[in-house]
């Protein structure tokens, strides 16, 4: 078993996998990676199973040193990586030797950078997941001087060099349970408006800037999921994300598809989004 030591942790870096799927009835949030597409890709590039834990870095990357040879894959928000004076651009697969220092730079666009490792990280698991979440695991964030253990697996993986471009498109959504309570004009406004990402966003939810006219009554506290779009009393739309609560009292007007959740997680402040109904 090898380990990496964190020299600098970056901004709000965590260990995440695909989340806790079976405990929502106990009030346990789903958690897991914000952008499942990028996390799954990082694992596939190393022939890992897609549910292996990865390091998720927000906006800026971490710097770390490795105790044994291994391979890492970097995906998600495009960034530059420096390893022993060699520079790479994500997405990429990199062979790492004992003592190598890996420095992952800031996201050029997008929000979340992912690093997988051959064989997967071997951090503590609880309730079927290694995902960090305050109150469930002792860890909330990766910190300087942390040691993170991983399996020693030596794959022969062909490096990739093609960059992925970030393409904006309409976010597909299903009709939410309270969508039918909106008037026809409100429905048209919801589906015809370009909304922008507000400064109020985190792993729990993304708030949108523009307001809708809202005269709906609050609902009894009801189940919500990652991707549920709630309409607040003040007319703001709130898109629930991976660490969201399991119930809520605001009308649920739309439910994003899994693909749309992955996409919106990488949208930055003031970037625009619009919604279409998935048939």
Round the average pLDDT of the chain to a whole number and report it: 92
Is the domain of 146 the same as that of 239? no
Q: Which residue has the tokens 């990280």?
A: 121
- Chain centroid to Cα 190, Å, comes to 25
Domain count across the chain? 2
Is the domain of 144 the same as that of 184? no
Q: Evaluate whether 139 touches 132 at the Cβ level (below 8 Å).
A: yes
Flag whether the pTM goes above 0.95.
Answer: no
Q: Which residues pair with 174 in a beta bridge?
A: 255
- Which pLDDT value is given to residue 235? 94
Average pLDDT over residues 192-199: 96
Task: Provide the residue range defining the domain that includes 126.
Answer: 2-150
Is the domain of 188 the same as that of 99? no
Q: Tell me the per-residue pLDDT of 217-265, one tens digit each, with 9 for 90 and over.
A: 888 999 999 999 999 999 999 999 999 999 999 999 999 999 999 999 9
- Which pLDDT value is given to residue 217? 84
Q: Tell me the per-residue pLDDT of 31-61, one tens digit each, with 9 for 90 and over.
A: 999 999 999 999 999 999 999 999 999 999 9
Is the domain of 17 the same as that of 73? yes
Is residue 139's pLDDT more than 60? yes
Q: How many CB atoms lie within 10 A of CB 243?
A: 20
What CATH number has the domain bearing residue 135? 2.60.120
Q: How far is it, in rounded angstroms, from Cα 173 to Cα 176?
A: 9
- Which pLDDT value is given to residue 166? 55
Helix ranges restricted to H, 94-242 = 184-192
Q: Which residue has the tokens 């964030």?
A: 141
Q: How far is it, in rounded angstroms, from Cα 156 to Cα 161?
A: 16
Residue 154's Cβ-count burial label (10 Å; 0-12, 13-18, 19+) is: exposed
Is the domain of 265 the same as that of 227? yes
Is the domain of 21 the same as that of 114? yes
Is residue 157's pLDDT more than 80? no
Is the domain of 63 the same as that of 142? yes
Is the domain of 134 the same as that of 182? no
Is the domain of 224 the same as that of 187? yes
Ordered strands of the 86-89 beta sheet = 86-89, 80-83, 101-104, 63-66, 2-8, 147-150
158 falls in which pLDDT band (50, 70, 90)?
Answer: low
């Amino acid at each position: 078993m090898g380990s990496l030591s964190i020299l600098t942790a970056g901004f709000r870096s965590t260990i995440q996998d695909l989340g806790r799927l079976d405990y929502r009835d106990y009030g346990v949030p789903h958690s897991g990676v914000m952008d499942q597409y990028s996390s799954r890709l990082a694992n596939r590039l190393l022939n890992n199973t897609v549910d292996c834990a990865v390091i998720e870095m927000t906006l800026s990357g971490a710097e770390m040193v490795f105790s044994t040879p291994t391979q890492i894959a970097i995906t998600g928000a495009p960034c530059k990586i420096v390893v022993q004076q060699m520079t790479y651009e994500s997405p990429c697969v990199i062979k790492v030797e004992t003592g190598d220092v890996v420095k992952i730079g800031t996201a050029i666009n997008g929000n979340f950078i992912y690093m997988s490792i051959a064989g997967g990280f071997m951090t503590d698991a609880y309730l079927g997941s290694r995902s960090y979440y305050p109150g469930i695991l002792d860890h909330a964030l990766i910190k300087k001087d942390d040691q993170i253990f991983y399996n020693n697996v030596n794959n022969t993986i062909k490096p990739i060099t093609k960059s992925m471009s970030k393409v904006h498109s309409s976010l597909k959504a299903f009709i939410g349970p309270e969508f039918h309570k909106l008037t026809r004009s409100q429905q048209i406004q919801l589906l015809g408006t370009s909304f922008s990402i507000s400064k109020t966003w985190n792993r729990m939810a993304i708030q949108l800037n523009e307001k809708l006219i809202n005269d709906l009554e609050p609902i009894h506290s009801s189940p919500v999921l990652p991707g549920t779009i709630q309409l607040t009393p003040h007319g703001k739309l709130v898109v629930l994300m991976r660490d969201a609560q399991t119930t809520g009292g605001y009308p649920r007007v739309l439910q994003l598809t899994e693909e749309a959740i992955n996409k919106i997680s990488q949208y930055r402040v003031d970037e625009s989004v619009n919604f279409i109904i998935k048939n």
